Chains A and B, each alone.
Chain A
Amino acid sequence: SSELTQDPAVSVALGQTVRITCQGDSLRSYYASWYQQKPGQAPVLVIYGKNNRPSGIPDRFSGSSSGNTASLTITGAQAEDEADYYCNSRDSSGNHHVVFGGGTKLTVL
């Protein structure tokens, strides 16, 4: 099965821009989706597809992809953006399996 790799931790100064990456072979065939999870809460979808935001997600969140790497960019990070971020995609093995990255803890300084 496929794997998705994320940096365990990333930090950003308040108001600055941060990029969180996700690498894996499946991303050559499928778009990554991104989730924000705060302590004690269920994950929330923030980006899906090429670069789509669900209703209610601020436009400071954006997504991009190149080769086997997908990126989530937060432009002008806010204190409330401090959270764990996970990527996921369909497994590239041809069945309907799904795979998640290990998650990135974002700290807003």
Chain B
Amino acid sequence: EVQLVESGGGLVQPGGSLRLSCAASGFTFSSYWMSWVRQAPGKGLEWVANIKQDGSEKYYVDSVKGRFTISRDNAKNSLYLQMNSLRAEDTAVYYCAREYIVATTDAFDIWGQGTMVTVSS
């Protein structure tokens, strides 16, 4: 079964750090771009960051640039998001998602169940 399972969420104080993990199974992890997408309570989806198959390219939404770092370990079939200098506005459910890219299509075809990150004092 193709599956993504996130972990590492929790309550953290403003300015603190958290590392999210995403374990992939059921597919060749090293063949896909991977992304983190978040959803603040009651709000819409927001793409956060993505990483190329070999980790050589990484992209971030402007609001997290310089604070968040996406990485992957293909030997462990795992995706990570290191979040530093956390702010209240980073409070959200964070989803790990597989990117399906063909020509002019860039879709997220597999999603994890999400992990909640709450930034509050």
A residues whose Cβ falls under 8 Å from a Cβ of B = 1, 29-31, 33, 35, 37, 42-45, 48-49, 54, 84, 86, 88-90, 95-103
Contact of A98 among B47, B57, B102 (CB under 8 A): B47
Closest 10 pairs (CB-CB, A-B): A33-B107, A48-B107, A98-B47, A103-B44, A42-B111, A49-B105, A90-B106, A100-B45, A31-B105, A30-B104
- Closest chain B CB from A58 CB (angstroms): 17
Given A42-B114, A48-B107, A97-B59, answer yes or no on A35-B45 (Cβ-Cβ < 8 Å). Answer: yes
- Closest chain A CB from B25 CB (angstroms): 16
Task: Select from chain B the residue with minimum beta-carbon distance to A31.
Answer: B105
**Neighbouring B residues of A33 by C-beta, 8 Å:** 105-108
Tell me if B61 is interfacial: C-beta within 8 Å of chain A. yes
Q: CB distance A49 to B46 under 8 Å?
A: no
Task: Select from chain B the residue with minimum beta-carbon distance to A95.
Answer: B59
CA distance A45 to B105 in the complex (A): 13
Q: CB distance A101 to B107 under 8 Å?
A: no
Given A1-B62, A96-B57, A97-B59, answer yes or no on A102-B108 (Cβ-Cβ < 8 Å). Answer: no
Q: CB distance A43 to B105 under 8 Å?
A: no
Given A42-B113, A42-B114, A48-B107, answer yes or no on A97-B47 (Cβ-Cβ < 8 Å). Answer: yes
